[in-house]
Structure 1
Amino acid sequence: MFSNVYSPHSLFLGLILSLTLQATAIKFVLPANKYPLAKCIWNTAHENELVIVTANVGPGAKQRVDIEIVDSSPNKNVYLSKKDIKQETRLAITTHAEGEVGVCFKNHLDKSATNDQEGKVSRIVDLDVDIGADAVDYNAIANQESLSGLETEMRKLEGVVQSIVDELSYLKTREERFSNTNTSTNQRVQSFAWFTILALAALGAWQILHLRAYFKRKYLID
């Protein structure tokens, strides 16, 4: 009766959904310093993908929390930079490149604070990062377009399917890139192997000729 509950198709769909619908929720303590280091939370995101960042910063006297959203691409894109965020802050970006998106925080301690307070005072940050289809506010879309409950669910399903298609396309591109790299590496290894064989053969022939000439000079051979 329950034979279809854990079918391969269901497991595959569940795996794909776990890859495509990315949502990260984390709560952490952010110590304050006069010259603080950035604390970054990284998440994988594809190119042209919607990312919604919701940061809820707890209270803290003589402290200023700054937020910056960057990525790990070679261009090191900086999407947003905002100083002195308080309570709940909601930010939205669209990625420009394939890679990881980092949400970075710095907690600055006011200069009027004593040195003893450095690293001992802090603020609590509650961070929620939604990526891809999970970042779309379907309730707002339903209200704006006057969609019924069924139509809203269909719109959600459409977003999930599109995310799956994008993920599979990315995996295919990545597989092709790895395959090309593997083929190129094999060709280089083969070329190096042939070069090594020819070099050893040439060196062996040169040694034979050199020894033959040496023995002739010493009248050891005719």
Structure 2
Amino acid sequence: MLRWLLLPFLAVALAHRIEVEQGDRHCYFEDLQAQDRMTVTYEVGGSTQGGSLDIDFFVVGPGKVQVYKSLSEAQGTWSVTAPSPGRYTYCFSNEVGNGRKTVSFNVHGVMHIDEEEQMAPVEREIRNLASGLQMVKDEQSYLVVRERVHRNTCEATNSRVKWWAIVQIILLFGVCGWNVHYLKSWFEVKRIL
């Protein structure tokens, strides 16, 4: 009965969206026990001031040892099965980037249970279903971010096309007006006094 009460707490998933200012760094940590699993997935969903859609991501494990480093990536995934207990700190850095970046990230973790082999088939199936459901939710949030990025790109392109068409129309009327004025000057009769 106790296992049924603990089951909802075995698979943990957190979804976040943060704004990382230019020259700033945001760090978070998770305390893991031996054999706990943790996965961090992230994606840059927007940038201001014409900045690129990338962020630096790094992870520091127990003992302040750098475990993982990814520079200037738009999206990424990092996973670990903790070999020993300790604190894992993961950071998003925009120290060398330009503009403010919007980062969406998910943290997934599964706590290790020594009695996992003795688990009832129904419990194991429930855990598998919960894991599959979490993967579907993550994919949905990924698609929402990608849709937002593509919509922003389309709107910016549409705006540029509109203004370029307006400039072309103004230039066309200007050239037509100049042609009419120039041709009129050829057919004017000049009076000599």
TM-score by structure 2 length?
Answer: 0.50
More strand by share: 2
Q: Which has the larger radius of gyration?
A: 1
